[in-house]
Amino acid sequence: MTDDPPGMFEAMYAAAQARGVAPPWDYGGPRPQLMEWAEERNLAGGRDAVVVGCGYGADAEFLARLGFRTTAFDFAPTAIATARQRHPGSAVTYLVADVLDLPPEWQGRFDLVVESLTIQSMPPEYHQVAAHNIAQLLAPEGTLLVLATARNDGVEVEGPPWPLTRAELDAFECGDVVLRRVERIDNGSWWRAELARGEPGSISSLP
């Protein structure tokens, strides 16, 4: 299964669906870490946003309610089908897509990119490629928000999941996408990192 991340996630969602339960990472609503961040910044929509590994769509629907033109994608067709069923008439565009091979036309398109727990759910050999691809979604002066559970450098884990080290957050930096802020939140158990496309200290980004 680890050689086929799309198949791995589809199998997990299909199994959860068959048992009538939620997958273990499904919170049942928008992530509190995302809502807190949005409230602190008085986040306003009117721009293009994308949610990576959207699952059943709770984070995407939250951004749409704030007024963002929101795209949301997931490896798993079952996840996307369920998201559409749960949110009939939604303004969110739900799509099946592979974070390891994203559509070229998405590069540089989104003002806000939200990555929550997707990369850490994948085997570590895929982390760098996925992080690079996610960063390339950012529009000029856009903001990338990364939410992940935290692991100290040198601590080995047998996943899934594979919580991210501080060093792994640096993998999102590529080209002119730079790390602007890193927080260790929730008693140190989570990372919340902001990246932006532009030079450090000269970025006009989301509030």
List, for residues 118-166, the tens digit of each pLDDT value: 999 999 999 999 999 999 999 999 999 999 999 998 888 887 899 999 9
Confidence category of residue 106, pLDDT binned at 50, 70, 90: very high
Q: Does 3.40.50.150 match the CATH number of domain 5-197? A: yes
Q: Do the Cβ atoms of 113 and 137 come closer than 8 Å?
A: yes
Q: What is the mean pLDDT of residues 6-19?
A: 75
Place of tokens 């086929």: 4
Query: Cα(136)–Cα(172) distance, rounded to whole angstroms?
Result: 9
Distance separating alpha carbons of residues 4 and 192, to the nearest angstrom:
28
Percentage of the residues of the chain whose pLDDT score is greater than 70: 93
Q: What is the pLDDT of residue 79?
A: 93
Task: Check residue 202 and give its pLDDT.
Answer: 39
Distance CA 35, CA 140 (A): 24
- 26 token code pair: 């499904």
- Asked if 59 contacts 51 with a C-beta cutoff of 8 angstroms, the reply is yes
pLDDT at 167 over 70: yes
Instruction: Kindly state the average pLDDT of the residues 157-186.
Output: 93
Using the predicted structure, report yes or no on whether residue 23 has a pLDDT greater than 50: yes
**Phi and psi angles of residue 199, each rounded to the nearest 5 degrees, phi first:** -80, 140
Is residue 206 scored above 60 in pLDDT?
no
When pLDDT is cut at 50, 70 and 90, the band that residue 28 belongs to is confident
Better-scored residue on pLDDT, 24 or 87? 87
pLDDT value of position 153: 86
Q: Would you say 135 and 91 are in contact if contact means Cβ atoms under 8 Å apart? A: no
The structure's pTM equals: 0.91
Backbone angles phi, psi at 66, to 5 degrees: -80, -5
pLDDT of residue 80 exceeding 70, the answer is yes
> Contact 67/44 with Cβ under 8 angstroms?
yes
For 12-21, 88-97, 130-139, which range has the lowest pLDDT when averaged over its residues? 12-21
Strands lying side by side in the sheet with 69-74: 93-96, 69-74, 48-52, 110-116, 138-149, 190-197, 177-185
Mean pLDDT over 24-52 rounds to: 92
Cβ count near 39 (within 10 Å): 9
